[in-house]
Structure 1
């Protein structure tokens, strides 16, 4: 998962919710999110497009809803509100509107990030919406519809007490969320270290990005790398305990994840995003969350 720069004017959420998330991360524990259903936050209402709705597979539209697998630990993309059950974020609002264009109601279900794509293949979920970076490896097994641009950003303790250089993190302890493209990123960086005769990077993988962020706040790890909206949001929500480190790099699009045998449906999803761009709803949703810098103009299937 990766993202582009974002505006810094997004609305702040209550500190108590952030501290609760940090506390959970410091404890290194928590309930397994798999198979956990939650409510999603209200989103702008979009009118259904009958032509697009006709392209929805019968098996999906039979009950009028679409089951969405999402890892709700990745603020501001998808995360739990203060009540601990309502899923909110720009991914939630945007796909809710996409589903409405298709004549459907989106029903979000919290899941482990690395279990979502297998869940799409097995039919457990009908779509995956969780800041998935579109890449060649994922496109081998699923179709992906682009809707947002993304890049990677690092964050460290305020003042960078370990004097960390992201291009030379050899011997440092770095936090990442498991199953993300940042794992591949930091693994490659560690190999460069050992190839040069330096100490390997200690890669601490966490179930949720909130836990990775908490590990940096506590001093357990020197830094974390994540999607840039996520890194920027973490800096804001930890009340200045963290700061961004280095520049954003390796831009790539986020994609909705669908089964391979639903080409017409995938195109309908892309066309629904185009419709939201055309009517201004897309811009309104991104601006609500302060992530409008990642907006795209040309959603497509498997770009």
Structure 2
């Protein structure tokens, strides 16, 4: 946009460990089989649709921003990427006869990395929008909206509709950035103070800023905000309800339309065999279930 509890742990010390552990560096690791769901058996028909250059080594290199719990984040070893996004894509890769290898990267660099061939797919809670569809094929697999969170009891008195004059934390390059920018403009157009928008490289840093009191509130995808509340032992609370729900999409190179279709069919296959529902239930994110995966919806 990331454990048993490093990423957004119960306080700033835990969060600081994550920030120093990620630091925007390129780290990689395959999913821990004790933490993630077992990949289903390959579907020969779908496996045949995988480009030769990907299937050659039996693995698919995945770019991901591993600071976005509970979707994708680092396990306690500081290098293994886990989360519901990871479990879901491991299952998709299994249907394609592949093993997924995750490489941590800054969120804003992933689509470019997929386009350049650095990564073979991007899996990082990407909300599908027109701008991203112009850069890559997007395969829908999950549906979620934006959620706000504040310190417990909202001591700064933040209003979602009028956050004028407040300090708001958000992760760089996410759909929440233009959201809060538009709200700030609405404030200034009405002659009220602008929102101070603090953009952070990782969602863990944005969460830490609200826990510390540096920022008054944050906005992020619903599962992430809800997870932050749980992991900070009640230091945070959700503000209002999620809104503007939209699908997440896997990022596939623009010229690989057949592969994108294979990925969409693999998502349909894990929905049909029950693997999809099992994974969402494991992570408590059933509310984001998507019935009809598609390419560039």
TM category (shorter chain) comes to over 0.9
Tell me by how many angstroms 1:69 deviates: 0.2
Tell me by how many angstroms 1:21 deviates: 4.0
Question: 1:287 is paired with a residue of what secondary structure?
Answer: helix
Question: 2:247 is paired with a residue of what secondary structure?
Answer: strand
**How many residues are treated as equivalent by the alignment?**
291
Distance change in 2, residues 1:55/1:110 (3 Å): same
**C-alpha separation in 2, matches of 1:176 and 1:121:** 26
CA deviations over 1:4-54 (Å, ceiling 9, x no partner) = xxxxxxxx83479714442358xx766533422123222222000000000
Structure 1 gap ranges (5+): 2-11
Distance change in 2, residues 1:16/1:155 (3 Å): closer
Question: 1:252 is paired with a residue of what secondary structure?
Answer: strand
Match of 2:217 in 1: 223
Match of 2:28 in 1: 37
Match of 1:157 in 2: 151
**C-alpha separation in 2, matches of 1:244 and 1:173:** 16
Tell me by how many angstroms 1:102 deviates: 0.3
Confirm or deny: 8 A CA contact 2:7 2:73 kept in the other structure.
Answer: no
Confirm or deny: 8 A CA contact 1:173 1:203 kept in the other structure.
Answer: yes
**CA-atom RMSD in angstroms:** 1.6
**C-alpha separation in 1, matches of 2:73 and 2:21:** 15
Match of 1:145 in 2: 139
Runs of 4+ in 1 over 3 A off after TM superposition: 14-17, 28-32
Confirm or deny: 8 A CA contact 2:28 2:81 kept in the other structure.
Answer: no
Match of 2:95 in 1: 101
**1:68-83 paired onto structure 2 within 5 Å:** 68-83=62-77
**Counterpart check, 1:88 vs 2:79:** no
Match of 1:23 in 2: 16
Match of 1:6 in 2: none
Match of 1:7 in 2: none
**1:94-133 paired onto structure 2 within 5 Å:** 94-133=88-127
Confirm or deny: 8 A CA contact 1:70 1:129 kept in the other structure.
Answer: yes
**1:113-262 paired onto structure 2 within 5 Å:** 113-262=107-256
CA deviations over 1:199-255 (Å, ceiling 9, x no partner) = 110000011101100000000000000000000000000000000001110010000
Structure 2 gap ranges (5+): none
Distance change in 2, residues 1:48/1:30 (3 Å): closer
**C-alpha separation in 1, matches of 2:8 and 2:252:** 32
Calculate the TM-score normalised by the size of structure 1: 0.92
Question: 2:126 is paired with a residue of what secondary structure?
Answer: coil
Confirm or deny: 8 A CA contact 2:6 2:75 kept in the other structure.
Answer: no
**C-alpha separation in 2, matches of 1:16 and 1:217:** 13
Confirm or deny: 8 A CA contact 1:21 1:211 kept in the other structure.
Answer: no
**C-alpha separation in 2, matches of 1:140 and 1:96:** 26
**C-alpha separation in 1, matches of 2:121 and 2:14:** 26
Give the structure, 1 or 2, with the largest relative contact order (CA under 8 Å, sep 6 or more): 1
